[in-house]
Amino acid sequence: MTDPLSPSRNPPVSDDAQSSAVRARAALLRLSSRSGVALLVVLAVLIGVFSALAPSSFASLSNVRNIAINAAPLLLLAVGETFVIIAGGIDLSVGSVLVFAGVLSAKSMGAIDADPSAGWAVVLVGLLVAIAGGGAWGLVNGLLVARTRIPPLIVTLGTLTAALGSAQLLTGGVDLLTVPNHLSISVGTGTVAGVPWLVIIAGVVALLFGSVLAFTRFGEHTYAIGSSFEAARRAGLNIRGHLTKVYLLQGLLAGLAGWLFLARFGTTSIGGHLSDNLTAIAAVIIGGTSLFGGSGTMLGTVIGILIPAVLLNGFIIVGLQPFWQEVAVGAVLVGAVFVDQQRRKVRERE
């Protein structure tokens, strides 16, 4: 029988040609899904090289602790950013939201009891205020991204400016120093069994939300929305609600990170977080999450935070100018997106 309307709709493809193409594609994809292992190898090689070059200083316990403490608050930002980017978005506002939350937290702790010897209750209020303050901006981001047609890049560029401006309005542009000693001594510099509090908090958060991403329906929907908005819509997912929650989560974590920075440095350092957003985004992308959404892992993000941290620390210790770290991170970032693009091209060459 002939088909008068669509004679060549389905050009027959020989089974052999098709299956060998499929096999080749599958092999390539398997290879790229091993990028998690590759990342670990890169990190291990870096650590190995620096340890060999400076065995006494780089590989010391105090230096390892130092690297981990520097990385910990930034990891919180990157954890939230992992959800945002996997869901197909981006959040540029994290650094400003962090500053805003820190300012709000310091202000409220100071308002309750400006004395450095203020009690634990004040510290706790400071924590809750920081998380709430960050969450508020996250909610603004989420509602705007989910309910308007404004691209996330613009929404969060707007809140980047607005949150920083609000922080400066609250303080008159002068850093606040009203941080109770309890907070600085415990969370800021304290350790439990030799592990700094900052590292424990960041680790628990990363583990918790890494599990949410990997094992729960919330994680599943995050991947689905980032992978294909249309497929998620037709599957009946509550996309607006989900995106709002994802940006809210990022805001809450930025708030917590703001509180951790207060604990560590005892000041709001309003001008000190201008590039935190890029640090977080770079970590997520270096960690193998696709900038276009749909794929990525929390383990990758953790390694993506550690690689730049190790580089910076290592360069300083071996006597190279630390600015090389920025050059290296920039190159790795561009390289990571290039690899991701190649992977997509292979997949879409159907």
Partner 1 sequence: MVGLSTVTELLLEGRGIYKRYGHIRALSNANFGVRAGEVVALVGDNGAGKSTLVKCLSGAMQPDAGEILIEGQATKLDSPLHARQLGVETVYQDLALAPDLTAAQNLFLGREIIRSGILGLCGVVDRPSMRAKADTALRNLGVGVQDSSVAVGSLSGGQRQGVAIARLVTWATKVVFMDEPTAALGVTQRERVHGAIRGLRDRGLGVVLISHNLPEVLAVADRLDVMRLGQRVAQFEANNVALEQVVAAMTGAMEQQFDDAPGVGGKASGSGALN
- Applying CB under 8 A, the residues found at the interface with partner 1 are 1-6, 9-10, 12-13, 15, 18, 21-22, 25-26, 29, 212, 215-218, 220, 223-224, 226-228, 230-237, 290, 294-295, 347-348, 350
Smallest gap from Cβ 30 to partner 1, in A, equals 8
Q: Which is nearer to partner 1, 141 or 222 (CB)?
A: 222
Q: Where are the beta strands (DSSP E) in 244-292?
A: none
**What is the closest distance, in whole angstroms, from the C-beta atom of residue 329 to partner 1 in the complex?**
26
State phi, psi for 17 to the nearest 5 degrees: -60, -45
Tokens of 255: 């708030």
The one-letter code for the residue type at 142 is G
Q: Which is nearer to partner 1, 81 or 340 (CB)?
A: 340
13 vs 327, beta carbon nearer partner 1 = 13
CB of 302 to partner 1, least distance (A): 21
SS3 category, 49 = helix
Cβ-based nearer residue to partner 1, 166 or 290: 290
- Angstrom CA distances, 301 to 86, 124, 126, 232, stand at 11, 29, 28, 24
Buried b (16+ CB within 10 A) or exposed e, 68-94: bbbbbbbbbbbbbbbbbbbbbbbbbbb
Give 3 or 149: the residue with its C-beta nearer to partner 1. Answer: 3
Q: For the CB of residue 216, give the shortest distance to partner 1 in the complex, in Å.
A: 4
Nearest to 313 by CA among 95, 77, 68, 74: 68
CA distance 69 to 65: 6
Distance CA 243, CA 266 (A): 34
In angstroms, rounded to a whole number, what is the distance separating the alpha carbons of residues 97 and 78? Answer: 14
Least distance in Å: CB of 143 to partner 1? 21
Please report how close the Cβ of residue 225 comes to partner 1 at its closest, in angstroms.
Answer: 8
Partners of residue 196 on adjacent β-strands: 191
How is residue 59 written in tokens?
């590989």
Nearer to partner 1, 291 or 316 (CB): 291
Pick 9 or 149: Cβ nearer partner 1: 9
Burial 186-222 (b: 16+ CB within 10 A, else e): bbbeeeeeeebbbbbbbeebbeebbebbeeeeebebb
Rounded Cα distance, 227 and 216, in Å: 17
Nearer to partner 1 by Cβ, of 3 and 193: the residue is 3
Q: How far is the CB of 22 from partner 1 (least distance, A)?
A: 5
Beta carbon of residue 344, minimum distance to partner 1 (angstroms, whole number):
8
Are 268 and 262 within 8 A, CB to CB? yes
Q: What are phi and psi of 223, to 5 degrees?
A: -60, -45
Q: How far is the CB of 183 from partner 1 (least distance, A)?
A: 30
Nearer to partner 1 by Cβ, of 5 and 61: the residue is 5
